[in-house]
Structure 1
């Protein structure tokens, strides 16, 4: 298991209009063309992406314009729609239950933004930001939490990159049932598994460009949607092994910091970058790494940074409630 050092940051961005958000994301959005499809880099593609956003996410158009108006590159403004983004594939394992959401995000550390944001576009939201204003996972002030994993199938179609879908759900929904209703109507560009939690319910659903929203047997997900999983896919990703492990462990932060759930294949873009433990009814999230944790909340959000070492053995893993022993 290789070791990597990564700095995570926490940024208060409010409604995005005072320049803090733009200052933080400009290094990423200046390279926006690298994220976009070939069509998305054309004027016609940019117009189509904007129209898709206006059709499916009209509530967020004022925020889109406020953010995009601070960026010089037209590619950056198209990126914010996330309706013309090249496919990207990650690992990840997640589970919901007992009013909590627990997940490992597995990817290449150098290609993960690593920014925890506290925003207030339509309502207060805290989450792990990616690609401008999308979210890999997050919660809102109503007690709803959501996270994503790649669905394991290399299919791409018209629709949104799922980090913006999670942002949209948290901005517009209060409950799992409301979010499921929204999610059924949204086109998603690549297969994804989404876990949703509120104080009364937790569920995982499979979505994608070629399938209707399908509810999973329980509120767990790794990186497949259908069985059987091809032998080579299982060898590389261990998706069935991880799903079985998280089901057996339940909502247990300590288990997430041990193999097989904690992964070390960073050179293959499948190493665990962080563990997030959301308690949305309490408005709290704790991010875990080997030997290190960082709590944030709506009541006490603390901007700053943490530099952590990934790939270490865990000397004192958190207990099932997320506290270090």
Structure 2
């Protein structure tokens, strides 16, 4: 068992300035040093075309290119390296887990991954140039692994597989673009039908209208269904599923089993975060250990998060922040039952 932390990054301003500020934070950080060590050991099996990436980012989310330029100028790194590490287009992502449970007015997500990928950055950002304000944990700095925007649209995603990749965006950049550009579930569904996908993922969406939709997205097809539980397999595009799905079905069945015990967002959060309910995972060495549990309440515009299991969540009042009241904390802490290294700490 070890104590870990996440930094809170809050910013109001242009995308370029947001990128520049973060680039200054990151320039000599463990996150960047660990990325450089990774690429010394393993050559990337993909190439990044700068002009192609700029063109497609400007089509779907113009502010993101400005943010990447801000990162580049602050970090004084070549743009091809910035795009390789932070661009989110035509790159590869490792396998992961994740479970999501929703009620009519909340979305709760267990983020299951390997600790060495976790950067410990929780972002609250309000653009001044374009796009909606978004709260949620970062992945690869520019991406969002889950989150909610100022309109009350909440999003999380679950990995399905990485076989037969397409020429498209990866999950965390798609998550960021959904939250910055879409005001509702309907808009997010239309966006996911249009944008090119790199890998196969389920995107789980909830807004103030109380209905949860799951978008099964691959480089080949996009299908829509409704459910309040989701893990790491498709229900519609079954031909896309991996052959071994025991862990995915075990977590799905655990959520269904405990559903009758859930009376509100608090008991739902406990069901996901308690280590004895069958949803929380300690399989960190297998890339599917639960690092954080997050919750989003669209009508209240509140966001919860806890690092590790059996924890009380930290609660952020996003509505007050949008009105100009900054968060006073600089970090929040938790405990995780692993001795594996974290990207921002080791």
Query: How much has 1:13 moved relative to structure 2?
Result: 2.9
Contact kept in structure 2, 1:108 and 1:267, CA below 8 Å:
yes
Residue in 2 aligned with 1:7?
A: 5
Residue in 1 aligned with 2:333?
A: 307
Q: Do the aligned partners of residues 58 and 189 (structure 1) sit closer, same or farther apart at CA in structure 2, a change above 3 Å counting?
A: same
SS of the equivalent of 1:282 reads coil
Residue in 2 aligned with 1:96?
A: 102
1:211-290 → structure 2 map (5 Å cutoff): 212-225=221-234, 226-227=237-238, 233-235=244-246, 238-250=247-259, 252-257=268-273, 258=275, 259-288=277-306, 289=308, 290=310
- Select the residue among 134, 139, 157 that pairs with 2:148: 139
**Residues 1:78 and 2:76 are matched in the alignment:** no
Query: How much has 1:239 moved relative to structure 2?
Result: 0.1
Q: Do the aligned partners of residues 157 and 292 (structure 1) sit closer, same or farther apart at CA in structure 2, a change above 3 Å counting?
A: same
Query: How much has 1:146 moved relative to structure 2?
Result: 0.5
Whole-Å Cα distance in 1 between the matches of residues 158 and 24 of structure 2?
Answer: 29
1:89-238 → structure 2 map (5 Å cutoff): 89-121=95-127, 122-152=131-161, 154-200=163-209, 201-210=211-220, 212-225=221-234, 226-227=237-238, 233-235=244-246, 238=247
Residue in 1 aligned with 2:316?
A: 296
SS of the equivalent of 1:69 reads helix
Whole-Å Cα distance in 1 between the matches of residues 74 and 258 of structure 2?
Answer: 45
Whole-Å Cα distance in 2 between the matches of residues 4 and 91 of structure 1?
Answer: 21
Whole-Å Cα distance in 1 between the matches of residues 299 and 68 of structure 2?
Answer: 28
Query: How much has 1:152 moved relative to structure 2?
Result: 3.5
Residue in 1 aligned with 2:262?
A: none
The RMSD of aligned alpha carbons is: 2.6
What do the CA deviations read for 1:11-52 (whole angstroms, capped 9, x no partner)?
1133351653223333345637849944425xxx23332233
Whole-Å Cα distance in 1 between the matches of residues 11 and 76 of structure 2?
Answer: 19
Query: How much has 1:111 moved relative to structure 2?
Result: 1.7
- Select the residue among 36, 50, 53 that pairs with 2:54: 50
SS of the equivalent of 2:245 reads helix
Q: Do the aligned partners of residues 39 and 49 (structure 1) sit closer, same or farther apart at CA in structure 2, a change above 3 Å counting?
A: farther
Contact kept in structure 2, 1:37 and 1:84, CA below 8 Å:
no
Q: Do the aligned partners of residues 216 and 25 (structure 1) sit closer, same or farther apart at CA in structure 2, a change above 3 Å counting?
A: farther
> Number of paired residues?
303
Where do 5+ consecutive residues of structure 1 fail to align?
313-325
Contact kept in structure 1, 2:96 and 2:112, CA below 8 Å:
yes
Contact kept in structure 1, 2:24 and 2:75, CA below 8 Å:
no
Whole-Å Cα distance in 1 between the matches of residues 170 and 83 of structure 2?
Answer: 12
Query: How much has 1:88 moved relative to structure 2?
Result: 2.0
Whole-Å Cα distance in 2 between the matches of residues 303 and 13 of structure 1?
Answer: 14
What do the CA deviations read for 1:120-140 (whole angstroms, capped 9, x no partner)?
232321111011210000111
Q: Do the aligned partners of residues 29 and 184 (structure 1) sit closer, same or farther apart at CA in structure 2, a change above 3 Å counting?
A: farther
What do the CA deviations read for 1:121-180 (whole angstroms, capped 9, x no partner)?
323211110112100001111111101110145332210011111111111111110111
Contact kept in structure 1, 2:215 and 2:224, CA below 8 Å:
yes
What do the CA deviations read for 1:43-80 (whole angstroms, capped 9, x no partner)?
xx233322332333335444443444333222343143
Q: Do the aligned partners of residues 38 and 269 (structure 1) sit closer, same or farther apart at CA in structure 2, a change above 3 Å counting?
A: closer
Contact kept in structure 2, 1:99 and 1:281, CA below 8 Å:
yes
